[in-house]
Amino acid sequence: MAHQYTGGCEHVHTHSDAKPVDNHICHCSVCKSVTGQPSTHVVFFRHGDLEVDNPDALNRQPFNAQNPDGPLELCTCATCGTPIMLDDKQRRIRAVVPNLMGLDPDRLPPTYHAFFDPAKGEQKPDDGRPVHESLRPDFVWPEPA
């Protein structure tokens, strides 16, 4: 059966048939540091909605090197090193960066800009999407799975 959203690598696959709970372009320093991108398209699924077919084949490391005990872990394939997802130790979300984690970014278009800080001297995005200093104001973290 084909799934609505699929990603991963040849060793570890992810999929979801549920719509994401959040979909944004992130401007935070952690995403910039981890991805090497000036901004990062990030998609949040409820933890139980993004399934992983081979979780034992994942290496886990803190997502934020400055906060190693934080809730997010970067999961990469133990065989090939491909980033697969961000896993929330609190089991609220699983996040993906479509262009790095094997998902089709065109099927998951971002709806706003998050963590934009005008004090950083960067030009404010002008693509018509709302721009926020954090996650969108109406975002509510899902209950743990």
* Per-residue pLDDT at 34: 94
In whole angstroms, give the CA distance from residue 7 to residue 13.
6
Structure tokens at 26: 């992130």
Does the domain at residues 5-120 carry the CATH identifier 2.170.150.70? yes
Strand order across the 83-88 sheet: 58-62, 72-77, 83-88, 93-96, 40-46, 22-26, 112-114
Cβ count near 115 (within 10 Å):
21
Which tens digit of pLDDT belongs to each residue from 2-36? Answer: 899 999 999 999 999 999 999 999 999 999 999 99
Q: Using the Cα atoms of residue 33, residue 36, residue 41 and residue 46 in order, give the sign of their dihedral.
A: negative
In degrees to the nearest 10, what's the CA dihedral of 51, 140, 67, 36? 70
Q: Which amino acid is at 117?
A: D
Which tens digit of pLDDT belongs to each residue from 56-105? Answer: 999 999 999 999 999 999 999 999 999 999 999 999 999 999 999 999 99
Structure tokens at 18: 């549920």
In whole angstroms, give the CA distance from residue 116 to residue 29.
10
In whole angstroms, give the CA distance from residue 18 to residue 39.
25
In whole angstroms, give the CA distance from residue 114 to residue 100.
19
Residue extents of the structural domains in the chain: 5-120
Global pTM reads: 0.95
